Amino acid sequence: MAAASETLEEFRASLDSGESSSRALVEAALSRAEGIDERLSCFVRMRAEGALSDAEEADRRRAEGEARGDLDGIPVAIKDNMVMEGEESSCASRILEGFVSPYTGTAVERLRDAGAVVVGHTNMDEFAMGSSTEHSCFAPTRNPWKPDCTPGGSSGGSAAAVAAGLVPVALGSDTGGSIRQPAAFCGVVGLKPTYGRVSRWGLIAYASSLDQIGVFTRSAAEAAEVLEVIAGHDPLDSTSVPEPVPRFREALDGDVSGLVVGLPAEYFERSEGCDPEVLAAVREAVATLERAGATVREVSLPHTRYAVATYYLIATAEASSNLARFDGVRYGRRASEPKDLGDMYRRSRSEGFGAEVKRRIVLGTYVLSAGYYDAYYRKAQQVRTLLRRDFDAAFERCDVIATPTAPEVAFGLGEKTDDPLRMYLSDIFTVSANLAGVPALSLPCGFSRGLPVGLQLMGAPLAEAMVLRVADAYQRHSDHHRQRPPEFA
C-alpha cells in the first residue's frame, strides 16, 4: 500500500522494484481520495474505471519491458478546466453541466502519452476566476494544513491534492497566480512556465493572453521532470513557442555559486499589507541561497504598482469574450422552456454562471466598450509593455528574481468572499509574471502560524531551467518541502 508521503521518485522506485504496481498506486489514490476528499473536496470527479484500466495497461507495458518513461503508471490529477476525450470537464461551473469532451488537450495528451494515469479532475474557482477555490459550483476545497482555511486558488484542488498526498503530480493553470498562490498556501511546488511554453489546446480559456498550464509537485526536480513531458511547440496553439524543450533536469546541479538573485525593491519596501512573518521567511530563504554561493542584488520593477489594475482590465476583457460561447446553444446548460432567444441567453447564463464570473464578464464588457477601449484596454496593453521592459532590464542584472508568492499565508474560508477587491490583492505578487509572460515558481520556504509560506522565483522568458535550478538548489538546503500537513503525514 502506497503511503501518502511518497514522492515521484519513491513511486517510481516502488514500480521499478516490482514492490508495487501502477494498479496498486491508482487504487490507493482512488481510495484515499474517497476517504479524505469527503473533507477536502480536492476532486470534482474521479475517473475510477478509466484510471484502473490505464494503470493495468501501464503495468503490462512495464512487464513487457516497454515502459514509456519516468511517468509511466504514475497517478496524476488534472484541473477541471482541462479536457480529455470521453470525460466531463466543467470548469467548476453549472453552465458546463454534463459537457463531455470529444477530444483531449495537448498537455493532458502528452502526460498520457508518457504513461501517466489521470485519476480525476480537481476543484477550482469557477472558470479559474478566484484566489480561494471558494467560487466553485462544488463545495470549496479545504487547505490540508488547516481545514478551515482555503487552499488558495484558482487551482486549489490540484494544490491540495498534492499537499495531502493524494497524487504526486497535478496539472493546474495560472492566469494571475492560480498555480503559485495555492502552491504557497498548500506548501508544495507550483510552476507556471513561460507563456507559450505549454500548449493551451484543450485548456478552457479564461484570459487567453495570460493563461498558462503548469504543474504541482513536491519538489522542483519533479516539476522539471513533468515540464519536460508537457512542454513544447504545438501547431494547434498559435501562441505556443516554437522553441526546443531543454532537458530541464540536467540543469539541476545544486550549484548557485556565481548566480545573482534579484530582490525587487517594490515588492519588499512598498509592500504595505504584506505579513511581516511572510517577509521574514522569504528573506531567510534568500539568505540561504546567499550562503550557498549566490549573490543578492536589489533590482527595480518600477511599474509593479500598476500590475493588479492592468491584470484585471486585460483578464476581464478577454474573459468577457472567451465566455460568450457558453450560450446554451450547442452544449452545457440551457434554461428550460425559454420564451425566446433573448430569454434563453439571459436565463442560461444567469443560472449557469456564478457571481464572480458574472462580475468579471460585466467588467470586461465595460472595458472593451466603445469610448472606453482606449482608456482601459489599450492603456492596459501599454502598461503591459512597460512591465515587460521592467523585467527585461531587471534580468540584465540578475538571474532570478525572488519575492514572496503571496502577501500572507492561507486565509480562512469565507474571510474574503464578500470583498472582491481584497481577494484580488492576493494576486499582487503573482500577476506581473503573467503580464510579462515570464516563468515563475513558488516553493515552500517556511511557516507562519502553522501554515506554509511560499517563495516566488521568477526568470527571464524561457529560462525555466534557471528558475528550477535555483529552486532545486534551495530545496537541497532546506526541508520545508518535506513537511507534511499533520493530518496527512
Active site annotation includes 17: no
Q: Is 261 in the site for another protein (CB under 8 A)?
A: no
Report d(CA 280, CA 99) in Å as an integer.
46
Q: How many CB atoms lie within 10 A of CB 330?
A: 9
The DSSP secondary structure of 236-265, one letter per residue, reads T-TTS---PPP-GGGG--S--TT-EEEEEH
Which is closer to another protein, CB of 377 or CB of 411? 377
Q: Is 405 in the site for another protein (CB under 8 A)?
A: no
Q: Is 288 in the site for another protein (CB under 8 A)?
A: no
Rounded least distance, CB 318 to another protein, Å: 6
Q: Is 329 in the site for another protein (CB under 8 A)?
A: yes
Which is closer to another protein, CB of 268 or CB of 366? 366
Of 20, 101, 158, 178, which is the active-site residue? 178
Which is closer to another protein, CB of 59 or CB of 237? 237
Rounded least distance, CB 202 to another protein, Å: 4
Q: Is 280 in the site for another protein (CB under 8 A)?
A: no
Report d(CA 377, CA 374) in Å as an integer.
6
Site string for another protein, 376-395 (x = CB under 8 A): -x------------------
Q: Is 352 in the site for another protein (CB under 8 A)?
A: no
Of 21, 101, 136, 154, which is the active-site residue? 154
Length of the chain (residues) = 489
Q: Which of 365, 417, 448, 483 binds another protein (CB under 8 A)?
A: 365
Report d(CA 190, CA 484) in Å as an integer.
16
Which is closer to another protein, CB of 273 or CB of 330? 330
Which is closer to another protein, CB of 101 or CB of 430? 101
Active site annotation includes 154: yes
Q: What is the CA radius of gyration of the chain?
A: 21
Distance of CA 449 to the CA centre of its chain: 24
Q: How many CB atoms lie within 10 A of CB 180?
A: 34
Q: Is 324 in the site for another protein (CB under 8 A)?
A: yes
Rounded least distance, CB 201 to another protein, Å: 6
Residues 146-205 that bind another protein (CB under 8 A): 200-205
CA angle 322, 324, 330 (to 5 degrees): 115
Q: Which of 63, 250, 298, 373 binds another protein (CB under 8 A)?
A: 373
Report d(CA 415, CA 423) in Å as an integer.
9
Q: 88 burial class (0-12, 13-18, 19+ CB within 10 angstroms)?
A: middle
Rounded least distance, CB 183 to another protein, Å: 23
Q: Is 235 in the site for another protein (CB under 8 A)?
A: yes
Q: Is 318 in the site for another protein (CB under 8 A)?
A: yes
Q: Is 335 in the site for another protein (CB under 8 A)?
A: no
Residues 76-115 that bind another protein (CB under 8 A): 81-83, 89, 91, 96, 99, 101-103, 105
Q: How many CB atoms lie within 10 A of CB 76?
A: 28
Which is closer to another protein, CB of 67 or CB of 317? 317
How are beta strands 43-46 and 117-122 bridged, if at all? antiparallel
Q: Which of 3, 63, 236, 287 binds another protein (CB under 8 A)?
A: 236
Q: How many CB atoms lie within 10 A of CB 59?
A: 21
Q: Is 448 in the site for another protein (CB under 8 A)?
A: no
Of 21, 41, 79, 131, which is the active-site residue? 79
Rounded least distance, CB 190 to another protein, Å: 21
- Which three cell numbers, joined as nine digits, stand for 377? 484596454
Rounded least distance, CB 197 to another protein, Å: 15
Report d(CA 476, CA 450) in Å as an integer.
22
Q: How many CB atoms lie within 10 A of CB 486?
A: 10
The count of residues interacting with another protein (CB under 8 A) is 44
Give the number of C-alpha atoms closer than 13 A to the C-alpha of residue 279, restricted to the C-beta side: 14
Give the number of C-alpha atoms closer than 13 A to the C-alpha of residue 471, restricted to the C-beta side: 35
Which is closer to another protein, CB of 61 or CB of 359? 359
Note whether 224 and 443 are within 8 A (CB): no
Rounded least distance, CB 133 to another protein, Å: 20
Rounded least distance, CB 327 to another protein, Å: 6
The helix (run of H) or strand (run of E) holding residue 317 is helix 307-322
Q: Which of 3, 280, 287, 341 binds another protein (CB under 8 A)?
A: 341
Which is closer to another protein, CB of 210 or CB of 286? 210
Report d(CA 407, CA 279) in Å as an integer.
8
Note whether 131 and 143 are within 8 A (CB): no
Amino acid at 210: L
Which is closer to another protein, CB of 168 or CB of 172? 172
Residue the block writes with cell 489514490: 29
C-alpha torsion sign, points 263, 267, 272, 277? negative
Q: Which of 261, 317, 423, 441 binds another protein (CB under 8 A)?
A: 317
The strand pairing partners of 217, in sequence order, are 189
* Residue ranges in contact with another protein by CB under 8 A: 81-83, 89, 91, 96, 99, 101-103, 105, 200-205, 207-209, 235-239, 317-318, 320-321, 323-325, 327, 329-331, 341, 345, 365, 368-370, 373, 377
Q: Just list the catalytic residues.
A: 79, 154, 178
